[in-house]
Amino acid sequence: MKYTYKFRLYPTQEQRVKLGETLELCRRTYNRFLSQINETDEIPKRTNLQFQLPEMKKRDSDLKQVYSKVLQMVLYQLYSNLRSLSKLKKNGRKIGRLRYKDKGWFKTFTYNQSGFKIIKTNNRLDKLHLSKIGDIPIRVHREIEGKIKQITIKRTNSGKWFACICVEKRPQQEKSIKSAIGIDVGITYFATDSDGRQIENPHNLEKSLGRLRKEQQKLSRKRKGSENYEKQRKKVAKLHEKIKNQRDDFLHKLSRHYVDNYDLIAVEDLNVKEMIGNNHLSRYISDASWSKFVRYLSYKAESAGKMVVKVDPKGTSQEHKHGELDRDYNASLNILERGMKEIGMGRAESTLVETEPLLHLSSQDVITGQVQSSKQEAPAKA
C-alpha cells in the first residue's frame, strides 16, 4: 500500500528562489507540451513527447536547471489530467480542453524514484537533498516507515513549502473483529456512534467567517498586481489555511480514536457531491468534510489491519428496530447492523444507552484526546 507523509520545509531565501524558478520552468514545460497536443487531431503517446526533452534543453538552457525526472513527471501530470477529462466525458459530462497554466497556478513538482535524499542531522531540522536545488531544512516530525518512492514539493498560497513523501508499505494483516461501531455523521453533531457518543461539529468555517469576509473585502479593494494586493492575498490565504488545518486536526484525531479502539467501523456511503446541491446546507456540509473523514478512517484502518465498511444510507434514520430512540443514535445502530451483515457476521449485538442521556462531547474533547472509549468510561458529573 502507498502512504504519504507531509513535512514542512524551511528553505533559505536563495533556495526559495530556486524552488520558485523550478516551478516556473515546470509550468512552461507543461504549457509547451499542452500546446503541441492541442495542435494535433490525435493525442500522441507520452513517450514520443518525452523523447523531445533533451532537444528542448538544448534550445532552452534554463531547463538544464531542472532535474530530468522532474520534467518527465510534468509530462506524466499532463497525461494524468487528460485521462481525468476523458473519464468525465465517458461519464456523460460536458468537457472542454485543458487550460494553460498561468503564473501562480502551478503549485507542485515531483522527484520520482531518484534525485532526493533525507539527511539526518540529530537536530530539530533534518535536511532534504534535492538534485539541482540543494539541501533544504525539513521538519520530519514523525518516523518515515516504508520505502520512499517519490517526493512532491508543494508551495501553498500563503508561500509555505512542504514535502509530500510517498512511501510503499506492506499492508497489515487483517485482525479478527472483536469490536465494532457504527457512525452516523450530521451537521449539528458531526458524529453519533452506536456506543452512545455524540460529538459536536466544530464549525471551523462558521467561526472564522466574519473575519474571512472582512479580509476578502480588503483584498477586493487592492489593485491587482500591487505589493499591497500581494500582502493582503497572503493574509487571506493564511486564514484559509488556518481553517483547513483546524478542520484536518479534528478529523485526524477523531478518525485515529475510532481506528485505535475498533476493529470494524461502519459508515454510510454518502453521495456528498449531490448533497452539496442543497443551497441551504451546502456551506455546512462542505465545512463538515464527511468524505475526508471517511477517507482518513479508511487509510488509517488499512494501515492498522482494521476494516471500514460503507453501507447503503437509505432509511437508516427511519428504521426503528430498537424502539423510539434519538434519531441519530438510532441511525448509528442501523448502520452498525448493516455493516455487520455486509461482511457476513449477522446481526450486531449492541448495548442500548438511551435509558440515560447520550454522552455529548465537544470538538475540543476530540482535539485534546478526551474521547472515552465507551460511554461507561465517562467521568461522573457532580
Task: Say yes or no to pLDDT of 350 above 70.
Answer: no
pLDDT of residue 379: 41
Domain ranges of the chain: 2-168, 180-368
pLDDT of residue 271: 84
Burial classification of residue 329, based on how many CB atoms lie within 10 Å of its CB (0-12 exposed, 13-18 middle, 19 or more buried): buried
pLDDT of residue 104: 81
pLDDT of residue 372: 65
Span 330-345, pLDDT tens digits: 999 999 999 999 888 7
pLDDT mean over 275-295: 84
The DSSP H or E segment spanning 176 is: none
Span 132-156, pLDDT tens digits: 999 999 999 999 988 999 999 999 9
Task: Say yes or no to pLDDT of 256 above 90.
Answer: yes
Q: What is the mean pLDDT of the chain?
A: 89
pLDDT of residue 171: 75
Task: Say yes or no to pLDDT of 346 above 70.
Answer: no
Task: Say yes or no to pLDDT of 382 above 50.
Answer: no
In this predicted structure, which of 211-220, 237-246, 365-374 has the lowest mean pLDDT?
365-374
pLDDT mean over 304-324: 86
pLDDT of residue 356: 54
Residue percentage of the chain with pLDDT more than 70 = 93
Note the pTM of the prediction, 2 decimals: 0.84
pLDDT of residue 352: 52
Task: Say yes or no to pLDDT of 376 above 50.
Answer: no
pLDDT of residue 357: 63
Higher pLDDT, 272 or 290: 290
In this predicted structure, which of 132-136, 239-243, 285-289 has the lowest mean pLDDT?
285-289
In this predicted structure, which of 98-112, 181-195, 350-364 has the lowest mean pLDDT?
350-364
Rg of the chain in Å (alpha carbons): 25
Residue of 346, 266, 256, 259 whose CA lies nearest to 306 = 259
Is residue 324 very low, low, confident or very high in pLDDT (cuts 50, 70, 90)? confident
pLDDT of residue 88: 84
Task: Say yes or no to pLDDT of 347 above 80.
Answer: no
Number of C-beta neighbours around residue 88 at 10 A: 12
156 contacts 162 by C-beta, under 8 angstroms: yes
136, HSE (Cβ side, Cα atoms, 13 Å): 27
167 contacts 147 by C-beta, under 8 angstroms: yes
pLDDT of residue 86: 87
Is residue 41 very low, low, confident or very high in pLDDT (cuts 50, 70, 90)? confident
For the chain, give percent helix, strand, coil, nearest 5: 45, 20, 35
Taking the C-alpha atoms of residue 144 and residue 337, their distance in angstroms, rounded to an integer, is 37
Task: Say yes or no to pLDDT of 374 above 70.
Answer: no
pLDDT of residue 91: 81
Burial classification of residue 364, based on how many CB atoms lie within 10 Å of its CB (0-12 exposed, 13-18 middle, 19 or more buried): exposed
Task: Say yes or no to pLDDT of 378 above 50.
Answer: no
